[in-house]
Amino acid sequence: MSKISLNLATTRAQWGFAEAVEGCLRAGITAISPWRDQIAAIGLEEAARIVRDNGLQVTGVCRGGMFPAETAQGRQAGIDDNLRAIDEAAALNADCLVLVVGGLPGASKDLPGARAQVAEGIAAMLPHARASGVRIAIEPLHPMYAADRACVNTIDQALDICETLGETVGVAIDVYHVWWDPYLARAIARAGRMKRIFAHHICDWLVPTRDMLNDRGMMGDGVIDLKSIRAMIEEAGYHGPQEVEIFSTENWWKRPGDEVLSVIKERVASVC
């Protein structure tokens, strides 16, 4: 079975950082990906101590990004926040800092302009990231989030940015966001040739999807051909953990955390 990482958003409603780690250890899961608010709630030093003392792999810190803003001041505030996120990722010895890059600033309709601001923002944070030994993973988000969350919407588009910025900038491939892409196999192969696959997130796409943000499915409950995508990713040279990231207001966030982890283990073994 492929190694599992728990993205702590998956048990956000049930567990804080420390409880989630305890739950993971009970389930034999030794990799996590925490969110910055979860790190802040326990404190960075304590989070780092827990990671270190338990020998955990941190497959990513979620999240930096959100670069576009209406003013230069707003954009600088975004960059400053990303510099702090780099410090947190470094303190946790994370495999990467994941970026949700942001959408259209304010009332703007200038999508190419927003995309340029994203590339500029990443470029501005890169010196500190490199000095800190932190890799940056751009996460292309599903096109339905282009306006309000992330204007980087395909792996190819992310790789175009990576090419301009150099080799410590790569992609986090989340099946939820990219499964529909008609050029997915080609894009993953390209990411592999560039050695830029830094993370692999899994969940499932439900039919119907009742909420555009928080109705992600457990692997196997939806339509994504997870095994095929995993095969593409391994063929492309990435063999790290599959990171389970499920936002689910009406289902998985309502269940006991231990039950959620038990189902995750079963599904990764059977359908991923």
Q: Which residues bind a copy of itself (CB under 8 A)?
A: 104, 108-111, 115, 142-144, 146-148, 151-154, 156-157, 160, 179-183, 205, 207-209, 212, 222-225
Cβ closer to a copy of itself: 142 or 216? 142
Name the residue with tokens 């050029």: 183
Residue 48 CB, shortest distance to a copy of itself, in Å, is 37
Cβ closer to a copy of itself: 58 or 184? 184
Cβ closer to a copy of itself: 155 or 197? 155
Residue 228 CB, shortest distance to a copy of itself, in Å, is 8
Residue 19 CB, shortest distance to a copy of itself, in Å, is 32
Residue 211 CB, shortest distance to a copy of itself, in Å, is 9
Task: Give me the DSSP letters along 194-250.
Answer: TT-EEEEEE-B--SS---TTTBPBPTTSSS--HHHHHHHHHHTT--SPEEE---BTT
Q: Are 114 and 108 in contact (CB under 8 A)?
A: yes
List C-alpha distances in Å: 214 to 87, 179, 205, 236, 258.
Answer: 29, 17, 11, 30, 20
Cβ closer to a copy of itself: 16 or 143? 143
The enclosing H or E element of 72 equals helix 72-91
Q: Are 176 and 205 in contact (CB under 8 A)?
A: yes
Residue 103 CB, shortest distance to a copy of itself, in Å, is 8
Cβ closer to a copy of itself: 47 or 232? 232
